[in-house]
Structure formats: C-alpha cells, structure tokens
Amino acid sequence: MSSNFFAYSGYDHTDTDELWINAIISLDTNTLLNTYKMTPDGRKQFLRVLQTFKERLWMPYQIGKEFYSNRRLVIETELKALGETKQSLKNSIKTMADGLEKSAIRFRPQLANDLQKELNYLKDKISLMIDQCPDKMDRNEYFVGPTLKVDDPISKEIFEIFGDKIGDGFNPRELLEIYEEGANRYNLSIPPGFKDAVNKEDYRKYGDLVIWKELIRRATEKKQPIIFITDDSKPDWWERHNQLKRPHPELLDEFYRSSGQYVHIYSYNEFIDRASVIITNFPESAKAVEEIMTINEEERERLLEHKEMHTTPMPGDIYNIRRIPSEPDVIPVLLINELENGLFHAFPITSSRNLLNIKFPTIYCAGKLFAVLIDCKQLVHTESLRALYDRIDQQQLLNVLDNTSKVLD
C-alpha cells in the first residue's frame, strides 16, 4: 500500500481485491456458535459457504477451545427457548378462548356457542401441530441423559470442514506473557478485548487477545493476509461514527506492523456481501444472512433490555468491581443487602472450587456454578460497580443468606 497510514485512511480497492485472492479466512467463536441458533435450512447455507472456502479456512486453537467451552450453554439456551416459545403459543390461544368465554354475555347465545366451538377446535388443532411438528433441535441428538455428547451433528459438520486446519495454540509460558501484556493493554483501552475486562473474570477476559495473537502468528508464518469474520459488535473491534463503522484502525496497524501482512475484519453479513460479488458461482446464502441478522438483532435487544432493567443496583445483582481501583482486573461480587448512601454489603463469588470453599453456598448464573465466598464479606459503593454480570432470583439469594448463617455458626 502506498500510504503508511492505510489503517486510518482505509484500504483502496486494488489492495482489497488482492487480499481476497489468497487471504486465510478465520471465523470467530460467536459466528460459529450462531449455527446452533439457525434453522436447518439457514444452517445448510452457512455450512455450504464454509465449504466454498474450505481450502483457505483456518481456526485459531483459542476459538476451538471457546466453541467447546460455550457449546453446552448455547444448546441448553436454545432448547429452553424452543420449549418456552411453544408454551407461549399455546397460552396465547388459551387466553383468547378464555377471553371469548368471559365475553360471551355480550353476544347472541348461538353466536357465542359457534365462536367457542370454532376456537376450541382451532386451539386443539394448533396445539397438536405444535406437539407433532419436528423441532429444529432434538435434545437426544445433543445429550445422553444429563451428559452433553462429545460431538453433536452441528459440531461434527463444522470441524469436518476445518479438518486439520486448526492452530496449536500457545504454551503456558506464552499464555502468561499474553495475559500480562493484556493487563497493560486493557488499562490503556488498546484493542482487542478491553471491553471484556469488565464482564469476564480471570484469564478468560484475555480470550480475544489470544485469538488476535494467534492470527498474527499465522499470518507471519504463512506470509499471507487474513480475513477475520466476527459478529462481536463491541468497540474493541470496531470504530463507530454515527451509523458508520469500520474495523478499529489500531488493529489494522498493529497487525501489519507485527506480521508484515494485512488483515480485514468483516461481520458475517459483510463478508457474504463481498464474497458474493467476487466469487464466481457463490452458493445461495440469503436465508443464512437473514437469520444471522435476526440473531444479532435479538442479542443486541437482549443486552439493551438487560442493561435497562438493571440501571439501579439491587440485592441479588452480580456486578464486576475492580479488585484494585487503579488496576484493570475485576472480580464478580453478589450484592446481598443495601445500606445507605449507595453502599451495599457484598460477597465475592468464584467458579473455582477448592477445599476452602467447598462448604460455601453456591449460585447458578451466566451458565456456570459459582461458590459464594461468605467469609469475605465487604462493603462496595455503587460508584465502584463496573458492569452487571448477571442476577439471581430472590429464592437463590435467600438460600445464600440462610446457608451463610449455618456455615459460619
């Protein structure tokens, strides 16, 4: 590229076309996990697109690790949502029937009877259709009793396409160096991943940085550019100005300076738009694109609703707080009771179990089991709360408080 500042001024068309000719293509964990949320037809299109680029695909080890670590939560969430949706449809029909029955006094008797008969017939027919129609996911394909299978139909297809084109990852010493670097980077809001510092605990907050380092190493070793596809919309991957967005220029600059190669970052839909223009006989992908857009929009709405519902901290909320005010490291704490002037009593929580906390009460949140460190009660102020992690219901909170007195007595 002619300009030393391409990361900030933008790629020109010639450079972008050259990048598409021989770039290695990698997909982020969230994009691959979205396949569990798609309909069978949408998923077939998604996987057909992967097949089109099979010879150029490559998966960082960290992405495979995150895929299998998060697979259970995604599957269980989808199965639960499916059950709730079916029940909601049945409840809606029942509500309509009950409403007609209560309003029957306002109709002529014959009309009321005819309407009630038709609605009951419709209710039974729709309920039967809901029960008999095959679900997009069958629990037996994923679980043997309560145990998640090692592989499932979706993970098998994905990893068969990638084959042996999966990275080896970093050794423990290299990972520790990346974590140490990450602590400094996140404190200065250097992308990628600094947004994870406020809503993930321990080494997991550095997952994006590990992926980034693997991509840089791969580009350096193979002397090839990278196309990275992610549906992560946080500002530690993208720079936004009003409605416009572009890959964070600091990422593009670092990648080139570290590897001597270029990187381009796309959302899945942006990738498809570009690929369909460049690639001859590109497979049909409209349904996959539409479903990915719906999935991402639902996720944004869920996060926005979650944020709006919890603007005021309350007992039962789990927040991340800085371990040390001047450091980026955070720990999750469970707020247990509100005092005055924005103060709360809180217990730290941890997903690590050991002999010291094995008898402590536990809570289930964010898809994981946490021990509540009831021997480390502390005062926290609302100003020190960084990001809402999750929330437990009042029954779980009461169980924690009851067990606290039993364990400590």
Q: Can you spell out the DSSP letters for 2-40?
A: --TTHHHH---HHHHHHHHHH-EEEE-HHHHHGGGGS-H
CB atoms within 10 A of CB 163: 11
* φ/ψ of residue 403, rounded to 5: -70, -25
Instruction: Yes or no: say if 78 and 36 are a contact pair by the CB < 8 Å rule.
Output: yes
Name 236's Cβ contacts closer than 8 Å, sequence gap at least 6: 189, 191, 192, 193, 194, 195, 196, 208, 248
Whether the predicted pLDDT of 1 surpasses 50: no
Burial class (CB in 10 A: 0-12, 13-18, 19+), 408: exposed
Whether the predicted pLDDT of 269 surpasses 50: yes
Whether the predicted pLDDT of 309 surpasses 60: no
The neighbouring-strand residues paired with 26 are: 228
The better pLDDT of the pair 409, 309 is held by 409
Ranking 184-193, 320-329, 366-375 by mean pLDDT, the lowest is: 320-329
Whether the predicted pLDDT of 301 surpasses 70: no
What percent of the chain has pLDDT above 70?
Answer: 85
What percent of the chain has pLDDT above 90?
Answer: 33
Whether the predicted pLDDT of 64 surpasses 90: yes
Q: What is the mean pLDDT of residues 255-263?
A: 94
The whole-angstrom separation of Cα 185 and Cα 230 is 21
Please choose, from the candidates 8, 11, 30, 28, the residue with its C-alpha nearest in 3D space to the C-alpha of residue 241. Answer: 8
Whether the predicted pLDDT of 303 surpasses 60: no
pLDDT computed for residue 40 by the predictor:
86
Read off the pLDDT of residues 372-395 as tens digits, 9 standing for 90 and up: 999 899 999 888 887 777 788 788
The whole-angstrom separation of Cα 184 and Cα 167 is 26
User: What are the tokens at 171?
Assistant: 């050794």
Whether the predicted pLDDT of 174 surpasses 70: yes
Please choose, from the candidates 79, 83, 81, 75, the residue with its C-alpha nearest in 3D space to the C-alpha of residue 33. Answer: 75
Ranking 67-71, 103-107, 395-399 by mean pLDDT, the lowest is: 103-107
The whole-angstrom separation of Cα 357 and Cα 376 is 11
The neighbouring-strand residues paired with 349 are: 372
Ranking 133-137, 332-336, 356-360 by mean pLDDT, the lowest is: 133-137
Q: What is the mean pLDDT of residues 40-52?
A: 89
For the chain, the average pLDDT equals 83
The whole-angstrom separation of Cα 263 and Cα 254 is 10
Whether the predicted pLDDT of 115 surpasses 70: yes
Whether the predicted pLDDT of 402 surpasses 90: no
* Domains of the chain, CATH where assigned: 6-74+148-302 (3.40.50.1010), 317-408 (2.30.30.110)
Q: What is the mean pLDDT of residues 213-238?
A: 94
Instruction: Yes or no: say if 380 and 343 are a contact pair by the CB < 8 Å rule.
Output: yes
First-last CA distance in the chain: 70
Alpha helices, DSSP H, located in 163-236: 172-187, 207-222
Q: What is the mean pLDDT of residues 238-262?
A: 88
Per-residue pLDDT band at 344 (split at 50, 70, 90): very high
